[in-house]
Amino acid sequence: MEISRCFPWLSRHRRKQDGFKTLPDDVVMDVLSRLEVDQLGHAKRVCRSWRALIGTAHFTRVHLQRASSVPVISPMFFDRKVGDRGFLFFPNWSSQVKKPIRGAKSPGFRYITTMCICDLLGCCDGLLIFSAILPFSIYEIQNPVTQEEIVWEQDGSICGFFLQSLPNKYRLLSYRETPNGFLYHTGGLWPAAWKNVGMFPYRPREQETPSGVEGRLHWMVVGKEGMSTPCSHSIMVFSTRESKFCFMPHPGDSCPSSDGHSNMHLVEMKGRVYVYAIRDKLMLIWVLEDYASWHWVKKCDIDLERDFNQHPASESVTSYSDYKGMQLIDSQDGELLLFWPHRGFFRYNLRSRTITQVMLGLSRYGMMSRVVVAEFKSSLVSLKDLQ
């Protein structure tokens, strides 16, 4: 019964279960690793050997490499208050309805009740990391698939979460402000394991998750008190393999003023790094084509005023004069998913230049001032690997 639920083609061809068991282990591994996470739950009940195989670290890694990524969205409301607990969702472009991540929830810090405002900090291999900023800093890592979670208190501000390939261990990157700049450390969940990786005059922007591509984390950065950085040092890159930082220029021309790239933002989409900027009423989008030479290619320019007025997205939206704060969320099949503060989500067709409002079933669009976005993969990675 369980085999037919995992592999409908078996029942259609009336193949016997015993015949399937004679397949070589590498073939079974190849087939099972292509299943969705919820299908693996059925596959584990087929036989003991499948259950044992799916439970191995090797299978988890192979399955993760083949899993497709989707953007996870964490809404932020300008009227949020202490005690609010948010939610996570990813946009299903085909059905245009909100589809919650299976089992996902905002982190419930069990020993904190009315004092937690939780922010999504990022995602690595299907593990989500959150922060609750109080008089002290509380963090939580959870896997919404396995329902595991870890909560701990820590000094400093965590800005990165990654898998270090050489020891094959998950690591955290944090910083704290000092009179001379920002001091960065990497390590695990215990202070004794943390290592100093440098002092720099810049830190990642708040409420923006890092883009993790090619074994590196990327951020747009700011200086002390939120001061803008030189164009040549506007993007901070951290090599997870070497635990080293470097600073790179943003794409496009140099900014005419010191705060000219404050409206530039990094976003990871389908394993690539993009930069977008809102200038006047235009959205400019670049993609990093050649990592070795740091070569960016202009993807497109969108005339927001022209296109939104020629092709109204919704009768309820009558004014298109303010585009400040618009965010690029995702891209697929020649279309972009955009978020417009206090108005909602919109699908933009690059060829026809038409706009369609995407109804995600959210009741508080008007209160939504910003969304935090991270790339997510459903995975079986256990939090025991962090301990």
For 230, the token pair is 């030189």
Q: Alpha carbon of 78 to those of 24, 81, 324, 341: distances in Å?
A: 56, 9, 15, 10
pLDDT value, residue 85: 53
Tokens 């005059």 locate to: 201
Is there a contact between 128 and 382 (Cβ–Cβ < 8 Å)?
no
For 164, the token pair is 């270090």
Sign of CA dihedral 239, 288, 274, 223: positive
Which distant-in-sequence residues (6+ apart) come within 8 Å of 113 by Cβ? 83
| Domains of the chain with bracketed CATH | 2-64 (no CATH), 67-386 (2.120.10.80)
Is there a contact between 323 and 298 (Cβ–Cβ < 8 Å)?
no
For 231, the token pair is 């164009």
Q: CA–CA separation, 74 vs 93, rounded Å? A: 17
Question: What torsion, rounded to 10 degrees, do the Cα atoms 181, 182, 185, 188 define?
Answer: 160
Q: Is 362 exposed, middle or buried (0-12, 13-18, 19+ CB in 10 A)?
A: middle
For 346, the token pair is 């919109």
Determine how many CB atoms are found less than 10 A away from the CB of residue 136: 9
Q: Is the pTM of this model over 0.75?
A: yes
Q: CA–CA separation, 77 vs 88, rounded Å? A: 13
Nearest to 74 by CA among 105, 96, 114, 103: 105
> pLDDT tens, position by position, for the chain (387 residues)?
454 455 554 444 444 455 556 778 788 889 999 998 888 888 888 888 888 899 898 999 999 999 888 888 887 765 555 445 556 776 665 444 444 444 444 443 333 333 356 788 999 999 999 887 666 688 889 888 888 888 888 888 999 999 987 778 899 999 999 999 999 999 987 766 789 999 999 999 988 899 988 899 999 999 888 788 889 999 999 999 999 999 999 998 877 765 668 889 999 998 899 999 988 788 999 999 998 899 999 999 999 888 877 766 555 444 445 787 889 999 888 899 998 887 788 889 999 988 888 876 665 555 677 888 999 988 999 888 776
pLDDT value, residue 25: 79
pLDDT value, residue 24: 81
Is there a contact between 286 and 265 (Cβ–Cβ < 8 Å)?
no
pLDDT value, residue 133: 64
What is the β-pairing status of strands 368-376 and 70-77? Answer: antiparallel
Is there a contact between 293 and 275 (Cβ–Cβ < 8 Å)?
no
